[in-house]
Amino acid sequence: MIFNEIGAVSKRLFIKWKRSPMFMVSGFLGPLLYLVLFGQAFNLSALLPNSVGNEYITSSLLGAPNYFSYFAIGMVAFSSVSIAIFSGVNPLFDRTSGIMKRTIGTPADRSSIFAGYLLFQTILTMIPAFLVLVISYGLNYIPGLSGLTISDSVGILNLAEIFVAIVLLSLSFTSLFLAFGFISKDNNAYFGLTALLQLPILLTSNAMYPQSTMPTWLQSIVSLNPVTMAVNVVRENMFGGMLYTYSPAIYLAELATWSLALIILALFIVRRSFYSEN
Amino acid sequence: MNVIIEAKGLTKEYKDGKEALRGLDFTVEEGKIFGLLGLNGAGKTTTMSILTTMIRKTQGKVIVDEIDLDENPNEIRKNIGIVFQESTSDNQLTGRENLQYIAGLSGMSSQTADQKINELFEKMGLKESADILVKRYSGGMKRKLELAVAMLQNPRIIFLDEPTLQLDPASRAEFWNYIKKLKERTGITIFLNTHYLDEAEKLCDVIAIIDQGRIIAKGPPDIIKNTVKGDIIKVKVENETPSFNKIIQDVHGVLEVVKSNSYYLIKCENSNQVAPSVVLKIKENNAVLQELSVIRPSLEQAFLEITGRGYTENGKTNSDGDEN
């Protein structure tokens, strides 16, 4: 019964998405352009004098052999966040168009309704993250372009941890922005909020720059950002884990705590929004 | 007859302090069409929203189909169908996909759902449009689709909230016809919110008039109409004296005389007895009778009498301005 309900919500959203995939295309193109244009042109290693050896660069970039490889993993997380930010659009539009009213008027458990949105939006959020990962690796085979260089010892377990990290990161931000979408009274409020949050989420993480180069006050904030946790799991598994404070399992546990907290908070907010008297 | 909906001391106070319902008491009998009639802002939609578990009540007790609203709201939603005031279908989906969506949320197996969906499209006359995107549907087709959605899980009660709002007269008549047939065929209980007097009169077995959050009259349409005592004789005269109003007022059997535009509205207990006397008085006073007609009690008059306010087609008072 619960699976029927979750499936019904996800299926409807999938049909709509299939018929107007512009959102997906535009959301995915952003990180891809970062990867191909910014990532290729902006090479922090090139700014350093020749006297600085590769060893120093690799240690500064937490094991990444070059800046592009470091940056590409950052973009994996960023692409996930930049799609998650639009997770609230579906409930927002469903609310203003009356579809939400019809949905909550059915016997379906209201937690299942939220779960249906969460399932679809999380999958949608994860897809570009994996695509960025695959594309950045594939760039190795295009002459003249830098690609993601990974350690030779990457195995199934490493890939499993990367997968879990991306799932947890997607769940965290999807829950958060779904909750915003459910409670926003109008489109402007929602889009204003997302525009305000997108860059700070990216810039208070180590997605683009090593944490060690940041001021101390910013480093503490960066450590708490789920993007940093996910990025650390992926980098540690891709480049080797000698230079990280914690093991991937610890970062995953932190990330799982964030995800769980945000899902519970979102569920509470969303269930309350079903009774909002507007 | 069994009581299928019961509300006792139902109150609703919104967060902004507005008291939408002030102690509603009513019952709805099984198999009847119950009409909640009132102006915009009277409390109709709030009442229906509480009964259908869409919003929370402030106080009072509600039983819907033997289920206590406070104890099991999810169970109530299994036994009811709702047609909302506005369209709630997804325009980017076809009619069939919309129904499949609701079937999934209602726990129906896909086989049962497909069978029921085909049956509903057939009955609603939407068979040819089932696989067309809802954004291509006309207003009347969208209303039918809303009704099909509400009927999907074979509900015992169907709630209609201003179902014919914004429909053209032909579509309204067709919708009413369908509702009547539906009741005859299935014996379903229908709870209808409306501000259309003709809709209430034509469809409902019982009408409750709601005004400012209180039910102020309840009964079959004929009984409600009978609350208006007497008829109104409407006359238009020329060359009347300034004291004409007083002269007519003194005619035996006349209760009240009001001048409205160029007409005199003479309220009396029995127009058959009073009308000849009025004509005689007009002659005696050398005035010229131009028009005379008799208005029998109508639901509109009853509404005016009971609420003390006039009525317009869009459900707003003609004395109070916008009530929203």
pLDDT at B321: 35
Q: Is A235 exposed, middle or buried (0-12, 13-18, 19+ CB in 10 A)?
A: buried
**Can you name the residues that pair with B34 across neighbouring β-strands?**
B191, B206
The span from the CA of A121 to the CA of B83, in Å, is 29
Backbone angles phi, psi at B264, to 5 degrees: -100, 125
pLDDT at A277: 53
The span from the CA of A15 to the CA of B93, in Å, is 8
**Structure confidence by residue, pLDDT tens digits, A83-126:** 899 999 999 999 989 999 999 999 999 999 999 999 999 999 99
Give the amino acid at B57: K
pLDDT at A278: 45
Q: Are B92 and B133 in contact (CB under 8 A)?
A: yes
pLDDT at B260: 80
pLDDT at B310: 52
Cβ burial B182-207 (10 Å sphere, 16+ → b, else e):
bbeeeebbbbbbbbbbebbbbbbebb
Structure tokens at A186: 């109008």
Probe site for chain A from B16, B85, B90 (most A CB atoms < 10 A): B90
Give A111→chain B minimum CA distance, Å: 12
| Cβ neighbours for B65, distance < 8 A, ≥ 6 positions apart | B4, B5, B76, B79, B80, B156, B157
∠ CA B83-B103-A12, nearest 5°, is 95
Measure the N-to-C terminal CA separation of chain A; round to a whole number of Å.
30
Among B139, B148, B126, residue whose Cα is nearest residue B91: B139
Q: Which chain A residues have a beta carbon less than 8 Å from that of B82?
A: 102, 105
DSSP per position, B102-161:
HHHHTT--HHHHHHHHHHHHHHHT-GGGTTSBGGGS-HHHHHHHHHHHHHTT--SEEEEE
| Closest by Cβ to B56, choosing from A98, A109, A275 | A275
Q: Is the pLDDT at A62 greater than 80, yes or no?
A: no
Q: Which chain B residues have a beta carbon less than 8 Å from that of A95?
A: none
The span from the CA of B83 to the CA of A250, in Å, is 52
**Which whole number is the average pLDDT over A43-66?**
72
| Closest by Cβ to B107, choosing from A4, A15, A102 | A4
The answer to whether B45 faces chain A, any CB pair under 8 Å, is no
Query: Between B226 and A267, whose confidence is greater?
Result: A267
Domains along chain B with CATH numbers: 3-225 (3.40.50.300), 231-296 (3.30.70.100)
Q: What percentage of chain A exceeds 70 in pLDDT?
A: 92
Give B221→chain A minimum CA distance, Å: 30
Structure tokens at B76: 């109530």
Least CA distance to B48: which residue of chain A?
A: A105
**Structure confidence by residue, pLDDT tens digits, B173-196:** 888 888 888 888 888 999 999 888
pLDDT at B295: 80
The span from the CA of B17 to the CA of B20, in Å, is 9
Write B51-54 long-range contacts (CB < 8 A, 24+): B51/B5, B51/B7, B51/B159, B51/B191, B52/A105, B52/B76, B52/B77, B52/B80, B52/B82, B52/B159, B53/B77, B54/A101, B54/A104, B54/A105, B54/A275
Probe site for chain B from A99, A100, A103, A275 (most B CB atoms < 10 A): A99
Give the amino acid at B122: E
The span from the CA of A117 to the CA of A113, in Å, is 7
| Closest by Cβ to A277, choosing from B55, B100, B105 | B55
The chain-wide mean pLDDT, for chain A, equals 88
The span from the CA of B152 to the CA of B123, in Å, is 12
Least CA distance to A96: which residue of chain B?
A: B88
Structure tokens at B309: 């306010």
Q: Is the pLDDT at A241 greater than 80, yes or no?
A: no
pLDDT at B309: 61
List Cα–Cα distances, A186 to A96, A108, A269, in angstroms.
8, 26, 17
Q: Are B27 and B19 in contact (CB under 8 A)?
A: no
Q: Are A82 and A126 in contact (CB under 8 A)?
A: no
List Cα–Cα distances, A100 to A171, A191, A276, B140, B190, in angstroms.
22, 19, 12, 21, 23
pLDDT at B302: 73
Query: Between A76 and A146, whose confidence is greater?
Result: A76
Q: Which chain B residues have a beta carbon less than 8 Å from that of A1?
A: 107
**Structure confidence by residue, pLDDT tens digits, A160-187:** 999 999 999 999 999 999 999 999 988 8
| Closest by Cβ to A106, choosing from B75, B97, B105 | B105
| Cβ neighbours for B156, distance < 8 A, ≥ 6 positions apart | B4, B65, B79, B80, B188, B189
Give the amino acid at A89: V
**pLDDT by residue for chain B (324 residues), tens digit each?**
699 999 999 999 998 888 999 999 999 999 999 999 888 888 999 999 999 999 999 999 999 999 999 999 889 999 999 999 888 999 999 999 999 999 999 989 989 999 999 999 998 888 999 999 999 999 889 989 999 999 998 999 999 998 888 778 888 888 888 888 888 888 899 999 988 878 888 899 999 999 889 998 899 988 877 776 678 899 999 988 888 889 999 999 898 888 887 889 898 878 888 999 999 999 998 899 999 998 876 677 677 777 766 544 454 544 443 333
Q: Where are the beta strands (DSSP E) in A157-252?
A: none
pLDDT at A51: 66
The span from the CA of B204 to the CA of B35, in Å, is 6
DSSP per position, B159-216:
EEESTTTT--HHHHHHHHHHHHHHHHHH--EEEEEES-HHHHHHH-SEEEEEETTEEE
Q: Are B62 and B10 in contact (CB under 8 A)?
A: yes
